[in-house]
Structure 1
Amino acid sequence: MNLVSIIIPCYNYGWLLPETLDSVLAQTYPHWECLLIDDGSTDNSRAIGEEYQARDARFRYIYQDNKGMSAARNHGIREARGTYLQFLDSDDLLAPGKLQTQVALLESHREADLVYGDMRYFRHGAPDTLSRSANMQDEAWVHGVQGQGEELLNALLEGNIMVSNAPLLRMKLLKKVGVFDEELRWVEDWQYWIRCAMAGAHFLFDPRPEAWALVRVHPTSTSHNAYRMHEKEVQVRRQLTPQLQAIGAARAVDINEIAIVRSAANLARHNLTTGSIPAGIRGYWKLARQTGRYGYYLKSIPYWLKTRLLSQSR
């Protein structure tokens, strides 16, 4: 029975951590180790981690100075001893059958480098109400793309296809692709899936409920930081362009460039309506120069400023 290494980065989520660790204990697949990487927490995370470590030797509590989630995940990867690897954020959960279901799939599909499933969001305090979208309106966005090569890469460049705790990965894939980019504080998982696809990884999808990833929605979760995520998405996409050009992925380059313009316009609109007005003006001016659509983008500036003033006057 192959070992699964579960890596949980944690920063000041002691108030939610027991529920997350209990979902690990509830796994029907017993051969796992759980690496809890405490990223410099100042709350009770250490006490909880040490309590679970004392209760079950499969838990390993590891402390590091605060360096960010990617650095914490990378620390876990270096410490991991498993054949397979499962990421889990410290406020999220795994369905009880997730490891068992996905280990069986990887062992019966030797061509697959990772298998991922569907996910459901739930509001903190209401675990029985599930949604396919973070706004709790049950809007599906996981389309089950699988395979490898150009089609997979293009789908990932259209947008993320899974949450961070959805896949189970072969450790040999991580050794091939490398670790997470520690400079990224947002969208680091999406960027990693793209790197996997560019390295030729084969993705497998299985939507069965027993393998669902469960994502908690609460005031401090990343689900409520859409602006920062879009901001970093633009940064990642701009870094990807020369890499995609280097491998001759013409369609991927086109998809990426269209998405850059779309996301940059969304950021500019956000700044003009609720954020920094100078940043919004700079954003639209840059888009006008890049695309040559001066009339369209420069007319957007007074339109969204007027929208802002009207909303403030109500």
Structure 2
Amino acid sequence: MYKDELPLVSIITPSYNQGKFIRETIESVLTQDYKNIEYIVLDGKSTDDTVDILKEYAKSEPRFQFISEPDHGQGHAVNKGVKMASGEIIGWLNSDDTYFPGAIKKIVDFFERYPYLEVVYGKGYHIDEKSNIINSYPVKPYKKPEDFFDFNIICQPAAFFRKEAFINVNGINESLYFTLDYDLWIRIAKKYSLRFINDYLANSRLHPDAKTMASALDRGLPEILDISNKHFGTVSNNWLYHFLTHYNEIGPYWYLNLFKNFDVFKNSPKIITTNRYEDFWTGPSLQINIEIDQRNPLEALLIKGENIIFHNLELRVYLNNEFINKYTVKEKDFELEIPLSSSQSSIIEIKCSHQFTPSNLGINVDSRSLSYIARDIIPLSHKEHDFYNKFKNEPNTICQWLNNNRKETPTLILPEY
């Protein structure tokens, strides 16, 4: 076939301050043996040498074009690039990733052979800063949308899609950061056909500045939980295993708060209101209004706090006006695990016999009556209480505990469009 008889393939590269990698990325596209390529780089106004490199290629390569202007992140750049693209087949290659020689021709041949397919993807490697292979990306042949429940089965740079399918599912959700491609593939899979090629097509680079490494925990896991709930109604234990195994040093409190936000343990007790101040200080009477589902009763209350002023902090706990127990806090940094039992929405009150007014101590003009700082207040169901104790005392066995105590099956939530 002549060049103008072949499908035009548009490669989109979002770029920002990846000058040390982007030349290798560009070369991996322009040296492909498939020549009917349109290459568009959307640069977010880089401040390193990226723009100089882009100008160099724009002068010498008619298939290459770029824009360098402020954008709203990677998703915005890819969406903008796809709208600009003239090709019916799109490849999304980040500015630190690379294609294997011959990758695009293999993809085009497959799309030509199976015109009903909307996404074709292959295998990929993780590589380091010097392009040395670290390991294979854990891809999986696609059969049904639920295949995405346990993990992202597609290596993003090794995936190509039809522009029409991308546009019809409204492109990338620009509010996402870590799960841009994961969410996109699931939305496409709910409506279109995907196919796996058992061949290596691309390299995904891992380095300290890559978001897959730099933001995996603080932004990655919350987005994964959100996307999983949105598409499957729950989250797979496999996702939880990964983070709990690789980031167990962060401790149970962070995970418990996150799991509450995304209902990982289903219908667990939740705080509706509390009179704790925004800076985490409490007054002499801390009141906590808790919503409790009778299917998942309250079993305990965790408080992680700081006793800054007093040698002995005396706390008296009441559940629905009934006295439960008294605690004495001697440490500056303390954790209280308070056994409580209730199967209906309740009010917990913690009265403190010690208080001070900051302005009286000459600290500032704060006239509040304060007792201590309560950084975390977490009501626990039976499963959450077990999770907390297992994580606290035997963190290396927490994944096995999840396997034994949390069984989740995905329910595919179909799109509204």
TM range (shorter): 0.7 to 0.9
For residues 166 and 148 of structure 2, the distance between their equivalents in structure 1, rounded to whole angstroms, comes to 18
For residues 123 and 269 of structure 1, the distance between their equivalents in structure 2, rounded to whole angstroms, comes to 22
Deviations 1:95-137 (A, max 9, x none): 110110110110111121121111111222143x35214xxxx
**Which of 391, 398, 414 is the aligned partner of 1:304?**
391
Higher relative contact order (CA 8 A, sep 6+): 1
Matches within 5 A, 1:64-75: 64-75=69-80
For residues 270 and 289 of structure 1, the distance between their equivalents in structure 2, rounded to whole angstroms, comes to 24
- How far the C-alpha of 1:295 sits from its partner, in A, is 3.0
For residues 6 and 76 of structure 1, the distance between their equivalents in structure 2, rounded to whole angstroms, comes to 9
Deviations 1:55-109 (A, max 9, x none): 2011111123131100000110111011210000000000110110110110111
| Structure 2 match to 1:167 | 159
Deviations 1:221-241 (A, max 9, x none): 23314313222111122333x
Deviations 1:156-204 (A, max 9, x none): 22321112111121222223222111101111101001110112x1112
TM-score if structure 2 supplies the norm length? 0.61
Matched, 1:132 2:132: no
Q: 1:268 to 1:113 in 2, by over 3 A?
A: closer
The size of the alignment, in residue pairs, is 276
Matched, 1:178 2:182: no
| Structure 1 match to 2:400 | none
| Structure 1 match to 2:221 | 230
More off after superposition, 84-93 vs 49-58: 49-58
SS of structure 1 residue aligned to 2:126:
strand
Whether contact under 8 Å (1:115, 1:206) holds in the other structure is: yes
SS of structure 2 residue aligned to 1:8:
strand
Matches within 5 A, 1:184-263: 184-199=176-191, 201-209=192-200, 212-224=201-213, 225-227=215-217, 228-240=219-231, 253=232, 256-259=233-236, 263=239
Matched, 1:142 2:139: yes
Whether contact under 8 Å (1:273, 1:307) holds in the other structure is: no
Q: 1:265 to 1:119 in 2, by over 3 A?
A: closer
Matches within 5 A, 1:114-133: 114-127=119-132, 129-133=133-137
- How far the C-alpha of 1:265 sits from its partner, in A, is 8.2
Deviations 1:43-64 (A, max 9, x none): 2211111111112011111123
For residues 104 and 266 of structure 1, the distance between their equivalents in structure 2, rounded to whole angstroms, comes to 36
Superposition RMSD in Å: 2.6
Partner letter of residue 172 of structure 2? F
Whether contact under 8 Å (2:89, 2:160) holds in the other structure is: yes
Please list every run of 5 or more consecutive structure 2 residues that lacks an aligned counterpart in the other structure.
Answer: 1-5, 269-295, 298-380, 396-417
For residues 102 and 10 of structure 1, the distance between their equivalents in structure 2, rounded to whole angstroms, comes to 24
SS of structure 2 residue aligned to 1:290:
coil
Higher strand share: 2
Matched, 1:56 2:61: yes
For residues 244 and 257 of structure 2, the distance between their equivalents in structure 1, rounded to whole angstroms, comes to 8
| Structure 2 match to 1:290 | 267
Identity of aligned residues (%): 24
Q: 1:142 to 1:53 in 2, by over 3 A?
A: same
Whether contact under 8 Å (2:22, 2:96) holds in the other structure is: yes
Matches within 5 A, 1:4-15: 4-15=9-20
Whether contact under 8 Å (1:271, 1:279) holds in the other structure is: no
For residues 125 and 209 of structure 2, the distance between their equivalents in structure 1, rounded to whole angstroms, comes to 18
More off after superposition, 214-223 vs 99-108: 214-223
Q: 1:302 to 1:166 in 2, by over 3 A?
A: same
Whether contact under 8 Å (2:9, 2:91) holds in the other structure is: yes
| Structure 1 match to 2:350 | none
- Structure 1's consecutive aligned runs of 4 or more residues displaced over 6 angstroms after TM superposition are 264-272
TM-score if structure 1 supplies the norm length? 0.79
| Structure 1 match to 2:147 | 155
Matched, 1:273 2:249: yes
Please list every run of 5 or more consecutive structure 1 residues that lacks an aligned counterpart in the other structure.
Answer: 134-140, 147-151, 241-252, 309-314
- How far the C-alpha of 1:258 sits from its partner, in A, is 4.4
Q: 1:47 to 1:307 in 2, by over 3 A?
A: farther
Higher-Rg structure is 2
Whether contact under 8 Å (1:145, 1:155) holds in the other structure is: yes
Partner letter of residue 3 of structure 1? L
For residues 97 and 52 of structure 1, the distance between their equivalents in structure 2, rounded to whole angstroms, comes to 21
